[in-house]
Amino acid sequence: MKEPSLPATAFFSLLLHLTFIFIAVITIKNANHFTLPSAYIVSLVSTEVSGPSARDKEGTAAQTEEPEQKMKLPAEPSKNKTSENSRQYISDRIAALESIRKAKRVVKLRNIISIKGADTQKKDTKEIPPPAKN
């Protein structure tokens, strides 16, 4: 009794595995291939093909409304004046904020200077007594 050889068994096993992988790859590729329907369908049909419309049957003619034309009025000067007033207000406000910032900076510098000067004045005042009142 002859037993199958190891190389022949390995070859058939490899052939079986490759066939299985090939079939799986083809199945996966075809499974993901589907087309989505469009979100909406538009049917463009000319009026000649569709036949007589309901308006024609009733005998009424289609009326097109003309859009109303608004009269063009000259621009009001108050809008320009308000824009000038707002520009003036904005420039004044910017100047005020800059002056406030500058004042705060000066106060901070004065505090630094007065702290340094206060230390030397305390030493000087201890050495020299205040003048006596007569």
pTM above 0.75, yes or no: no
- In angstroms, what CA-CA distances link 126 with 65, 71, 114, 130, 131? 99, 87, 18, 9, 13
Who's near 53: CB < 8 A, 6+ residues apart? 47
Question: pLDDT of the chain along its 134 residues, tens only?
Answer: 578 789 999 999 999 999 999 999 999 888 876 677 777 777 777 656 555 555 555 555 556 666 667 777 666 656 566 788 888 999 999 999 999 999 999 999 888 887 665 655 555 555 566 666 65
For tokens 């904020």, the residue is 97
pLDDT at residue number 42: 73
pLDDT of residue 47: 57
Determine the Cα–Cα distance for residues 14 and 7; give it in Å rounded to an integer.
Answer: 10
For the chain, the C-alpha Rg in angstroms (whole number) is 49
What separation in angstroms does the CA of 127 have from each of 18, 121, 122? 107, 10, 9
CA distances (Å), origin 43, targets 39, 40, 48, 67, 114: 13, 10, 14, 29, 87
Nearest to 108 by CA among 98, 100, 97: 100
Domain ranges of the chain: 78-127
pLDDT at 114: 76
